[in-house]
Amino acid sequence: MDPQLLNYYEAIERASADMLCAAREGNWDAVVKLEGACVLLISQLKNAAEDVALADGAHSPQALAAAKAKSRIMQRILVNDAEIRHLAEPWLQDLDDTLAGRRKTLH
């Protein structure tokens, strides 16, 4: 894998980890901001991937190591995403209730 592409995956992973930290803190504004950064990075990754030609040495030790690194990064991103979604569920339900006019009452 092209080192530039691996850099994009690593940047997406860092943004994902930052999103998770913000979600754990209940800082949903930061989560949304970081999600926008992830969208931009993913778009840049797609464009960069289109520009990278298929390498002849796709099965070289370096290519296999890069593929394993990409796989580990993607797994961590997916784990972060799952936890962010879990943390966001109550917040999203509160938002849905507020938008539907079902405000919480204190008793």
Buried (b) or exposed (e) across 25-37, using 16+ Cβ within 10 A?
Answer: eeeeeebeebeeb
* Contact (CB, 8 A) for 55 and 63: yes
Instruction: Look at residue 27 in the predicted model and tell me its pLDDT.
Output: 94
In a domain, 105, yes or no: no
What is residue 53's DSSP assignment?
P
pTM of the model: 0.68
pLDDT lower than 70: segments of the chain: 1, 52-60, 103-107
Tell me 32's DSSP state: H
Instruction: Show the domain range for 91.
Output: 3-99
Q: What digits encode the pLDDT tens for the residues 89-105? A: 887 777 777 888 876 65
Phi, psi (degrees; rounded to nearest 5) at 80: -60, -45
The enclosing domain of 83 has a CATH number of 1.20.58.380
The pLDDT value given to residue 39: 93
Q: Work out how many domains the chain is built from and give that number.
A: 1
Q: Give the per-residue pLDDT at 106.
A: 55
